Structure 1
Amino acid sequence: MARNKDQGPDGFTAEFYRSAWDTVGPEVTSAVNEFFTEGRMFREPNTTINTLVPKKKQANCIGDFIPISCFNVFYKCISKIFAERMKSVSLT
């Protein structure tokens, strides 16, 4: 994940989690493992902020905007694990 590319709804970037891993790592790991073993995720990590960002100054129609979704780092970790696991699955 990009270190400071974007922040999630909680206001934290991946860089925060990397720099504070000794403190937050066990809890993050536990939450991600719980998702894969129990199929549950806490409500807070499963939130997303959707917003429209203007592509140009004085944007005035919907085509002048790009939709952006800000996901929590927990959600991004789970998505990346899914993507890596799916690479080994053959659909043929």
Structure 2
Amino acid sequence: MSQRHQKNFIPAIQLSNGSLTTFIDEEGYVFIGNFRDLLGSSEGTFFLDVVVSRFGPCIDLASHASLLAPFTCGVIKQALFSINDNNASRSDGYTFLSLKKSWDIIGSDSCHAIRDLFVSGKLLKQINHFIIALIPKFANVTSNFKPISCCNVVYKVISKIPFTSLVVAFAGIISPLQNAFLGGRVMADNIHIIQELLLLY
């Protein structure tokens, strides 16, 4: 058994009552229950208070129009080509590099399928599919795992497209003092400023 496989091997897991189990079926139910709890409850949620939201900054009309505009093939291609080639292969077995290399062949069909998704709001089950791997945070643990989700290439590209548009739209409403949500800004800058100010007192 390789060292990496040995480190990531889960020999047993701890149940909610504190006992350990090595039965794969039982382990599966525990993991599914854990993620179901993380995703929230079936109880009703509070609605957004529209009056409260009006007090904050709002995006301008041009940004609003750009968010509502249909995505062009150029935007879809840019989203794909902005993803690192060296990322691990996805759950469908493809890498981003393989999709980029075959773009001249499949680009038109890919653009049509992705644009259709944003118009219809329907996503194929084959695309909306994840593999979740649980990696032990420490050696020989029974209850402390780090989940890593692996989606397919198309899903990753689909999720990147609106994110890129939102970053541009939000650039005008996020305070220049806020460094956590925009590219080119680093939270450490604020920490250094505070440290310099504290040294003066």
- Of residues 59, 62, 75 in structure 1, which corresponds to 2:143? 62
- Of residues 68, 71, 76 in structure 1, which corresponds to 2:151? 71
- Of residues 156, 166, 191 in structure 2, which corresponds to 1:86? 166
Deviations 1:5-44 (A, max 9, x none): 1222211111110111122222221111111122122221
1:11 partner amino acid: G
- 1:59 CA drift (Å): 3.5
Change (3 A) 1:62 1:19: farther
Q: How does 1:3-18 map to 2 (within 5 A)?
A: 3-18=85-100
SS in 2 for 1:51: strand
Structure 2 segments unaligned to the other structure (5+ residues): 1-82, 175-201
Spell out structure 1 runs of 4+ moving beyond 2 A: 53-56, 58-63
* Structure 1 CA distance for aligned equivalents of residues 140 and 161 of structure 2: 37
* Structure 2 CA distance for aligned equivalents of residues 20 and 55 of structure 1: 38
Match for residue 51 of structure 1? 133
Match for residue 24 of structure 1? 106
Change (3 A) 1:38 1:15: same
| TM-score, scaled relative to structure 1 | 0.79
* Structure 1 CA distance for aligned equivalents of residues 90 and 157 of structure 2: 12
Larger radius of gyration: 2
Higher strand share: 1
* Percent identity (aligned): 31
- 1:55 CA drift (Å): 4.4
Alignment root-mean-square deviation, CA: 2.1
Change (3 A) 1:62 1:82: farther
Change (3 A) 1:59 1:19: farther
Structure 1 segments unaligned to the other structure (5+ residues): none
| TM-score, scaled relative to structure 2 | 0.40
* Structure 1 CA distance for aligned equivalents of residues 108 and 137 of structure 2: 39
Aligned pairs, number = 90
